[in-house]
Homo-oligomer: A and B are copies of this chain.
Amino acid sequence: MLMDESEKDKVAEEVANGSIPIHQIEKFAPDANEEVEIRRLAVAKVCKIKLGSLASKETDYSLLKGKNAENVIGMVRVPLGVAGPLKVNGAEFIGDALVPMATTEGALIASVSRGMKAINLSGGAISRVIEDGMTRGPVFELNSVVDAQRFVKEWLPKNLDNIKAVAQGTTSHGRLKGIKPKIQGNNVFLRFTYDTGDAMGMNMSTIATEAACRYIEDNFEGISLVAVSGNFCSDKKQSLVNALEGRGKSVVAEAVIGERVLAEVLKTKAAAVNNVNYKKNWIGSATAGALTQFNAHFANSIAAIFLATGQDIAQVVESSSGYTITEVRGNDLYISVTLPSLEIGTVGGGTGLPTQGEALSIMDVFGSGNPPGSNSRKFAEIIAAAVLAGELNLLAALATRDLGKAHSKLGRNKKQ
């Protein structure tokens, strides 16, 4: 400890009484760890509460300072369990995966594990990445559609190589795969797609696109950038352009569950699961006006895995888009999940934090893969297979009317 308790308390008191702004504490603290302590102390004083649990003395705050968060006062802790093992027959990941899931919602991990058991007994889940690329979609304005058309149809194709060079000049890993333009009146949206290796790549894509936008403004008379993100990306938003064109990884996982496994593990039949899927995930979602989520609960598995592994939690939104398809094949059940916009990385963001890195290591996908990009694709294959397990289990549980029971049993009082 570099600063004694009374010194820290004094600074905290000055923050609490307004003499020192909260974001300037770092000027008065000898290192990142003491800074967090003082700030926590100050917040406790302001709020007249105790903040003991958040302290997390096990954490070295210098690892995350200036990288992962600002105004830090501690660490929130979320239970991390493992679902599985799950047999995954991917193109790149072949084997049994234990899947780390962080959640505060009881029954989730147990439920997904039951789906995994049924899949394992049926030979495992096939899983494939079918598209891969991170996007950024700026919006420009011009005087007239005449200019917009000339820009999109003439100038852009001619200058694509230059734009590519400029964009890629900002990054050592990223590669610009293409640009999809869209004219709206006198405005032009461009959707840049990048190969970002094992990183989720949003930040890399933004910086590269900003450089490209500057080049465009400098070289096409009369065009003006409105915003480097024009929601045509679409980041942290569900949209059809994401579902149609993909964002991050587009992944499909599937399995054929035999009649006997259905009966013994899931206590149901193929036709019953198929009926629930049809009426809930297709007719129900359409009736509710759900545009990209024709599924039962992709979000549950996605959120828990994202949280466990240091992904951007805000991207649970569009990463949970997708479609669950079932077919009755004789007395067996074919089931697939298609995730068009699964945005993940195994390097960068929160993946390098200690606990999150360990979670990735459980699946052997921590850090950069060899070749680059392979770790994030393996990770995508595992996630899709886990999502499949979650869908299978919930559809079966609904078919046998076990939903509330599962929650009740796992630690919730019936009367609440």
A121 contacts partner chain B, Cβ-Cβ < 8 Å: no
What 6 A-B pairs have minimum CB-CB distances, sorted nearest first? A104-B350, A240-B289, A185-B336, A231-B284, A53-B354, A240-B240
A158 contacts partner chain B, Cβ-Cβ < 8 Å: no
* Cβ distance A57 to chain B, nearest Cβ, rounded Å: 7
Task: Give chain A's interface secondary structure class.
Answer: mixed
Contact status A187-B71, CB under 8 Å: no
Contact status A109-B70, CB under 8 Å: yes
Output the residue of A51, A228, A286 with the most chain B CB within 10 A: A286
Contact status A358-B53, CB under 8 Å: yes
Contact status B355-A76, CB under 8 Å: yes
A361 contacts partner chain B, Cβ-Cβ < 8 Å: yes
Bitwise interface map of A from 381 to 416 toward B, beta carbon under 8 Å scored 1, else 0: 000000000000000001101011001101110111
Contact status A410-B185, CB under 8 Å: no
A261 contacts partner chain B, Cβ-Cβ < 8 Å: no
Extra pairs beyond A70-B107, A185-B252 (20, CB < 8 Å)? A43-B98, A58-B77, A68-B411, A69-B104, A69-B109, A70-B110, A71-B113, A74-B358, A76-B355, A184-B283, A185-B338, A203-B404, A207-B414, A232-B287, A234-B288, A234-B293, A237-B299, A239-B290, A243-B289, A244-B287
Q: A170-B414, A307-B307 are in contact. Are A47 and B362 (CB under 8 A)?
A: yes
> A228 is contacted by which of B70, B73, B227, B404 (Cβ under 8 Å)?
B404
